[in-house]
Amino acid sequence: MSLVVVGSVAYDGVETPHGKIDRMLGGAATYIALAAGYFTPVKIVAVVGDDFAPEDTDLLASRNIDLAGLQRVPGGKTFFWAGTYSADMNDRTTLRTDLNVFADFNPRLPASYRSAPYLLLGNIQPALQRSVRAQMNGLKLAGGDTMNYWINDFRAELLATIAEWDFLLINDSEARLLSHEHNLRRAAAKILEMGPHTLVIKRGEHGAVLFRREGHFMAPGYLLEDVFDPTGAGDSFAGGFIGYLAGQGIEPSRGNIDVAELRRAVIYGSVMGSFCCEQFGVDRFRTLTREEIEARYQEFQSCTRF
């Protein structure tokens, strides 16, 4: 079933111990949509300038992604971010952020998007996330991401926004900041009281933890031989997670949902995040096949069964 993805489509400049790329396709919505497109049809909502390359448009269009909601601003420039990673790639330093056309992004959904049953809101201003959800009339499952800036400076607005969500995907430092709890189990309990019935806390190379009021599920990180570029791994995780659920047609009833399906969704998220790290930017998704995805999913099963 169709999934609407809202967020940034951008260009990135990245330097890791494996090399440097001055300009490559990136942005949260890009990674989410590419990962989710392996499981379900995707409808993207984002904004780019007229410098957005035709070959990048072609890549998105070739991956089961509807681009009717991709707004182009004549004379504008696409959002650009540049950063460098530490030797172990656990830390990164932002060198440049040019919001460009993304500074005035005000997502408006095409009529053909508004009845879609699934929604993933990337990391944008909470008021905009809330406005997108209000434009939709047939949602079965909705949620998204946020970051430290919104938690610190737009807390009331963010709380009002996530109160309407079914799920929240954040990393461990964001969970601690949002909950004012250092212990992740206590942090998760507090966040679940804020509205979402499902919380996934991403822990980078250490995996992810799925929290529900009735319990939690821990998934390890996939052990790669080489990590070329972790940019977009968290968004690729999100795309795999919601893409799988949408592809299965999951429909919660008053927050009740098959926990086994949620666990599978976390593993598929981990699979997609791991593939993302194998090459720079979105390059791994240019050749990745569903057969490779299923093989790695099976490997996760064999490595964690006891």
Segment 10-56, tens digit of pLDDT: 999 999 999 999 999 999 999 999 999 999 999 999 999 999 999 99
98 pLDDT band (50/70/90 cuts)?
very high
Q: Report the pLDDT value the prediction gives residue 254, as an integer from 0 to 100.
A: 64
179: helix, strand or coil: helix
pTM of the model: 0.96
Q: Which two tokens stand for residue 181?
A: 């709890």
Mean local confidence (pLDDT), 280-294: 97
Tell me the pLDDT tens digit for each residue of 229-241.
Answer: 999 999 999 999 9
**Average pLDDT along the chain:** 95
CATH dotted code for 3-304: 3.40.1190.20
Q: pLDDT over 70 for what percent of the chain?
A: 99
Confidence of residue 211 (pLDDT cuts 50, 70, 90): very high
Whether pLDDT at 64 is above 80:
yes
pLDDT at 88: 84
Q: Residues 6 or more apart from 208 whose CB is under 8 A from it?
A: 200, 201, 202, 218, 219, 221, 237, 266, 269, 270
Is the pLDDT score of 299 beyond 70?
yes
Host H or E run for residue 185? helix 184-192
